[in-house]
Amino acid sequence: MAQPSAAHSSPPRQPSVKVILTSADVQRVVDRIAHQILEKTQGAADTVLLGIPTRGAPLARRLAARISAFEGVAVPVGVLDITLYRDDLRRNATRAVGPTQLPAGGIDGQRVVLVDDVLFSGRTVRAALDALGDLGRPASVQLAVLVDRGHRQLPIRADYVGKNIPTALAENVKVTLAETDGTDEVRLYGGTLP
Protein backbone atom coordinates (compact mmCIF):
# COMPACT_ATOMS: atom_id res chain seq x y z
CA MET A 1 0.00 0.00 0.00
CA ALA A 2 0.99 3.64 -0.33
CA GLN A 3 3.46 4.99 2.20
CA PRO A 4 2.20 7.52 4.67
CA SER A 5 2.64 11.00 3.29
CA ALA A 6 5.22 11.80 5.96
CA ALA A 7 7.70 9.54 4.14
CA HIS A 8 7.87 11.98 1.23
CA SER A 9 9.27 14.73 3.38
CA SER A 10 11.77 12.51 5.23
CA PRO A 11 15.49 13.08 4.45
CA PRO A 12 17.05 10.92 1.72
CA ARG A 13 18.21 7.53 2.92
CA GLN A 14 21.79 7.45 4.17
CA PRO A 15 24.02 4.80 2.63
CA SER A 16 24.24 1.77 4.88
CA VAL A 17 27.60 1.16 6.52
CA LYS A 18 28.62 -2.25 7.73
CA VAL A 19 31.81 -3.08 9.57
CA ILE A 20 33.24 -6.22 7.98
CA LEU A 21 36.46 -6.49 9.95
CA THR A 22 37.16 -4.84 13.29
CA SER A 23 40.60 -3.86 14.48
CA ALA A 24 41.07 -7.22 16.22
CA ASP A 25 39.84 -9.04 13.09
CA VAL A 26 42.36 -7.20 10.92
CA GLN A 27 45.20 -8.29 13.21
CA ARG A 28 44.05 -11.90 13.18
CA VAL A 29 43.74 -11.85 9.41
CA VAL A 30 47.24 -10.40 8.99
CA ASP A 31 48.58 -13.08 11.34
CA ARG A 32 46.87 -15.79 9.29
CA ILE A 33 48.24 -14.48 5.97
CA ALA A 34 51.72 -14.35 7.53
CA HIS A 35 51.35 -18.01 8.56
CA GLN A 36 50.06 -18.93 5.10
CA ILE A 37 53.00 -17.21 3.42
CA LEU A 38 55.37 -19.13 5.69
CA GLU A 39 53.58 -22.36 4.90
CA LYS A 40 53.27 -21.93 1.17
CA THR A 41 56.83 -20.64 0.71
CA GLN A 42 58.34 -23.17 3.14
CA GLY A 43 59.81 -20.64 5.53
CA ALA A 44 59.80 -17.52 3.35
CA ALA A 45 63.36 -17.95 2.08
CA ASP A 46 64.25 -15.90 -1.02
CA THR A 47 60.99 -14.02 -0.57
CA VAL A 48 60.38 -10.29 -0.91
CA LEU A 49 57.19 -8.45 0.11
CA LEU A 50 56.25 -5.48 -2.07
CA GLY A 51 53.38 -3.27 -0.88
CA ILE A 52 51.32 -1.32 -3.39
CA PRO A 53 50.62 2.23 -2.09
CA THR A 54 48.78 3.52 -0.29
CA ARG A 55 47.65 0.80 2.11
CA GLY A 56 49.53 -2.14 0.68
CA ALA A 57 52.77 -0.59 1.94
CA PRO A 58 51.97 -0.71 5.69
CA LEU A 59 50.31 -4.12 5.23
CA ALA A 60 53.54 -5.48 3.72
CA ARG A 61 55.52 -4.11 6.68
CA ARG A 62 53.08 -5.73 9.13
CA LEU A 63 53.28 -9.07 7.37
CA ALA A 64 57.08 -8.93 7.49
CA ALA A 65 56.96 -8.08 11.20
CA ARG A 66 54.60 -10.99 11.94
CA ILE A 67 56.69 -13.43 9.85
CA SER A 68 59.74 -12.30 11.79
CA ALA A 69 57.88 -12.75 15.09
CA PHE A 70 56.64 -16.24 14.20
CA GLU A 71 59.79 -17.75 12.74
CA GLY A 72 62.57 -15.20 13.16
CA VAL A 73 62.96 -14.77 9.39
CA ALA A 74 63.77 -11.25 8.16
CA VAL A 75 61.84 -10.85 4.92
CA PRO A 76 62.89 -7.83 2.82
CA VAL A 77 60.07 -5.32 2.33
CA GLY A 78 59.65 -2.74 -0.41
CA VAL A 79 57.11 -0.38 -1.92
CA LEU A 80 55.98 -0.59 -5.54
CA ASP A 81 54.25 2.51 -6.91
CA ILE A 82 52.22 1.67 -10.00
CA THR A 83 50.98 5.16 -10.97
CA LEU A 84 52.99 5.34 -14.19
CA TYR A 85 51.74 1.90 -15.27
CA ARG A 86 48.01 2.51 -14.82
CA ASP A 87 45.77 2.00 -17.84
CA ASP A 88 43.52 4.94 -16.95
CA LEU A 89 46.20 7.66 -16.69
CA ARG A 90 44.89 9.75 -19.52
CA ARG A 91 41.27 9.47 -18.40
CA ASN A 92 41.90 11.42 -15.21
CA ALA A 93 43.76 14.48 -14.06
CA THR A 94 47.50 13.86 -13.70
CA ARG A 95 48.19 11.65 -10.71
CA ALA A 96 51.03 12.32 -8.31
CA VAL A 97 53.80 9.75 -8.54
CA GLY A 98 54.65 7.96 -5.29
CA PRO A 99 57.95 6.47 -4.21
CA THR A 100 59.11 3.03 -5.30
CA GLN A 101 61.59 1.47 -2.89
CA LEU A 102 63.03 -1.91 -3.65
CA PRO A 103 64.93 -3.87 -0.99
CA ALA A 104 68.71 -3.57 -1.29
CA GLY A 105 68.98 -7.10 -2.71
CA GLY A 106 66.60 -6.30 -5.57
CA ILE A 107 63.97 -8.71 -6.87
CA ASP A 108 65.94 -10.75 -9.42
CA GLY A 109 65.43 -14.45 -8.77
CA GLN A 110 63.28 -13.76 -5.70
CA ARG A 111 59.76 -14.86 -4.93
CA VAL A 112 57.88 -11.55 -4.91
CA VAL A 113 54.67 -11.31 -2.89
CA LEU A 114 52.65 -8.27 -3.94
CA VAL A 115 50.56 -6.90 -1.07
CA ASP A 116 47.46 -4.72 -1.47
CA ASP A 117 44.43 -3.90 0.62
CA VAL A 118 41.52 -4.61 -1.74
CA LEU A 119 41.41 -6.82 -4.84
CA PHE A 120 38.64 -5.58 -7.14
CA SER A 121 38.96 -5.23 -10.93
CA GLY A 122 42.51 -6.62 -10.98
CA ARG A 123 43.79 -3.64 -12.95
CA THR A 124 46.07 -2.46 -10.17
CA VAL A 125 47.68 -5.90 -10.05
CA ARG A 126 48.13 -5.91 -13.81
CA ALA A 127 49.89 -2.54 -13.56
CA ALA A 128 52.05 -3.91 -10.74
CA LEU A 129 53.04 -6.91 -12.86
CA ASP A 130 54.06 -4.56 -15.70
CA ALA A 131 56.08 -2.46 -13.26
CA LEU A 132 57.80 -5.56 -11.87
CA GLY A 133 58.84 -6.56 -15.37
CA ASP A 134 60.72 -3.27 -15.76
CA LEU A 135 62.40 -3.56 -12.37
CA GLY A 136 63.88 -7.03 -12.68
CA ARG A 137 63.05 -10.66 -13.18
CA PRO A 138 61.53 -12.32 -10.12
CA ALA A 139 61.53 -16.12 -9.92
CA SER A 140 57.80 -15.99 -9.24
CA VAL A 141 55.12 -13.50 -8.23
CA GLN A 142 52.33 -14.07 -5.71
CA LEU A 143 49.54 -11.83 -4.51
CA ALA A 144 48.31 -11.21 -0.97
CA VAL A 145 45.24 -9.06 -0.29
CA LEU A 146 43.38 -8.16 2.86
CA VAL A 147 40.00 -8.20 1.09
CA ASP A 148 38.82 -9.78 -2.15
CA ARG A 149 35.54 -8.17 -3.17
CA GLY A 150 35.15 -9.87 -6.56
CA HIS A 151 34.14 -8.25 -9.88
CA ARG A 152 37.40 -9.05 -11.63
CA GLN A 153 37.88 -7.53 -15.08
CA LEU A 154 41.11 -9.42 -15.77
CA PRO A 155 42.20 -13.03 -15.29
CA ILE A 156 43.91 -12.42 -11.96
CA ARG A 157 43.50 -14.14 -8.60
CA ALA A 158 45.13 -13.80 -5.20
CA ASP A 159 47.30 -16.46 -3.52
CA TYR A 160 46.50 -15.20 -0.02
CA VAL A 161 43.13 -13.65 0.83
CA GLY A 162 42.31 -12.19 4.23
CA LYS A 163 38.58 -12.14 3.68
CA ASN A 164 36.30 -12.72 0.71
CA ILE A 165 33.49 -10.18 0.70
CA PRO A 166 30.68 -10.74 -1.79
CA THR A 167 29.68 -7.26 -2.94
CA ALA A 168 27.43 -5.58 -5.42
CA LEU A 169 29.19 -3.39 -7.98
CA ALA A 170 27.59 -0.27 -6.53
CA GLU A 171 28.89 -1.04 -3.07
CA ASN A 172 32.18 0.27 -1.78
CA VAL A 173 34.80 -1.44 0.38
CA LYS A 174 36.95 0.89 2.45
CA VAL A 175 40.01 -0.33 4.35
CA THR A 176 41.51 1.89 7.01
CA LEU A 177 44.81 1.15 8.72
CA ALA A 178 46.38 2.64 11.83
CA GLU A 179 49.45 3.78 9.88
CA THR A 180 47.50 5.74 7.26
CA ASP A 181 44.10 6.45 8.79
CA GLY A 182 44.42 6.10 12.57
CA THR A 183 42.41 2.88 13.00
CA ASP A 184 42.27 -0.64 11.58
CA GLU A 185 38.90 -1.39 10.04
CA VAL A 186 37.20 -2.71 6.92
CA ARG A 187 33.81 -1.26 6.07
CA LEU A 188 31.26 -1.96 3.39
CA TYR A 189 29.31 1.06 2.20
CA GLY A 190 25.95 0.15 0.73
CA GLY A 191 24.96 1.04 -2.79
CA THR A 192 21.89 3.02 -1.77
CA LEU A 193 23.39 6.49 -2.03
CA PRO A 194 20.62 9.09 -2.29
Interface residues with another protein (CB under 8 A)? Answer: 81, 84-85, 89-100, 130, 133-136
Question: DSSP letters along 34-45, please?
Answer: HHHHHHHTTTTT
112 bridge partner residues? 48, 141
Nearest residue to 86 (alpha-carbon basis) of 71, 98, 69, 102? 98
CB of 4 to another protein, least distance (A): 48
Nearer to another protein by C-beta: 95 or 157? 95
- Give Cβ neighbours of residue 169 (< 8 Å, ≥ 6 apart): 151, 191
CB of 93 to another protein, least distance (A): 5
Report in angstroms how near the CB of residue 130 gets to another protein at its nearest: 7
Among candidates 84, 181, 77, which has minimal Cα distance to 124?
Answer: 84
Q: Which is nearer to another protein, 18 or 95 (CB)?
A: 95
Q: In whole angstroms, what is the distance from residue 173 CA to residue 168 CA? A: 10
Pick the closer one to another protein by CB: 12 or 134. 134
Nearer Cβ to another protein, position 136 or 191? 136
Supply the minimum distance, in Å, between the C-beta of residue 88 and another protein: 10
